[in-house]
Amino acid sequence: MQLTKTDLKDFLEEKYEQYNRIDFIHSDPVSIPHQFDKKEDIEIAGFITATIAWGQRVTIINNAKKLMKLMDNSPHEFVLHAKAKELKRFDNFVHRTFNNVDAMFFIKSLQNIYQHHGGLQKVFTPVLPANDDKNNQCIIAITQFREIFFSIPHPSRTGKHVSNPSENSSAKRLCMYLRWMVRNDKRGVDFGLWNNKNFNASHLMCPLDVHSGNVARKLGLLKRTQNDWKAVTELTDNLKRYSASDPVKYDFALFGLGVFEGF
């Protein structure tokens, strides 16, 4: 699809407006953290839901609801106080390759994060190296988070469920989670709980999957054929031409075009 820069911006803006609406929440995994009002419940529910957000969306939502129910629909309280007896509740849980072993470790690690590291927002807030150009906040934030998340003894199999962009993974689910937590456009979909001058919408990277990748290539926003971190960087850099302060807003457009319109 060949469009001028002006026409493409208008098209992206139109689709952003169309799909960034609370009307679409009920059919999206973001509906799970929207069940809560407490900040810590939202960020924990969002993180766990984003972790299992691959496959059919109905299945993702149903299994995320099961996980919330296993945590008494009070994820922060459960994470803070869960002991071995409570963790046995997850014995029969499975979502694709994410199973009970993974679920139990996630609770243990989140407990460590909230008891000893100040919570998810704190561990995702990028600590920038000296003389850093401040263009790498997102990858620094994810890398920093992974180091703390796996700082306690963990099953080797669980590592695959927390992507590592430093190894060129697209980290789609983590980028999506950060979009939920950081973007603050007051439209009712993204929460904007973590928005600050050191880590805001301008630093986010666009979630990239099969749908958004295919649409981006058709629109001339992405040339790289692999859906990896190099492609994420290329796509986000191109989206910054249309909105430097909030390039990831166009994730709504790319996703909506791919999923709802078969673009």
**What is the pLDDT at residue 39?**
98
pLDDT of residue 131: 55
**Residue ranges in the chain whose pLDDT is less than 70:** 1-2, 128-135
Whole-number pLDDT of residue 11: 97
CA dihedral 163, 167, 169, 175 (to 10 degrees): 60
User: Would you state the pLDDT for residue 3?
Assistant: 78
Pick from 75, 184, 61: nearest CA to 120: 75
Contact in structure between 223 and 235 (CB atoms under 8 Å): no
Smallest CA-to-CA distance from 251 within 184, 205, 187 is with 205
Nearest-5° Cα angle at 156, 153 to 159: 95
Report the pLDDT value the prediction gives residue 23, as an integer from 0 to 100: 94
| Tokens encoding 43 | 């960020």
**DSSP codes joined into one string, 10-28:** HHHHHHHHHHSSGGGGGGS
Six token digits for residue 178: 């950060």
pLDDT tens per residue across span 128-151: 665 565 568 899 999 999 999 999
Query: Encoding tokens for residue 129?
Result: 């190296």
CB 242 within 8 A of CB 8: yes
Nearest CA to 194 among 136, 139, 119, 244?
A: 119
Residue 41: predicted pLDDT: 98
Distance from C-alpha of 52 to C-alpha of 56, rounded to nearest angstrom: 11
210-218 helix and 251-260 helix, angle to the nearest 10 degrees: 100
Write the pLDDT tens digit of every residue in 162-214. Answer: 999 999 999 999 999 999 999 999 999 999 999 888 889 999 999 999 999 99
Torsion of CA 214, 238, 175, 16, to 10 degrees: -70
Q: Reduce the secondary structure of 184-212 to three states and give it as a string.
A: CCCCCCCCCCCCECCECHHHCCCCCCHHH
- Helices (H) and strands (E) counted in the chain, each on its own, are 12, 2
Task: Give the CA distances from residue 203 to residues 59, 78, 179, in Å, rounded to whole numbers and listed in that order.
Answer: 31, 32, 10
Give kind and range of the element (H or E) at residue 6.
helix 5-19
CA distance 43 to 53: 15
Q: What is residue 133's predicted lDDT score, i.e. its pLDDT?
A: 57
Question: What is the per-residue pLDDT for 134?
Answer: 57
Q: What pLDDT does residue 1 have?
A: 63
Residue type at position 198: N
The per-residue pLDDT for 103 is 98
Beta strands in 17-125 (DSSP E): 94-95, 98-99
Structure confidence at residue 6 (pLDDT): 87
pLDDT for 84: 95
For residue 126, the model assigns a pLDDT of: 83
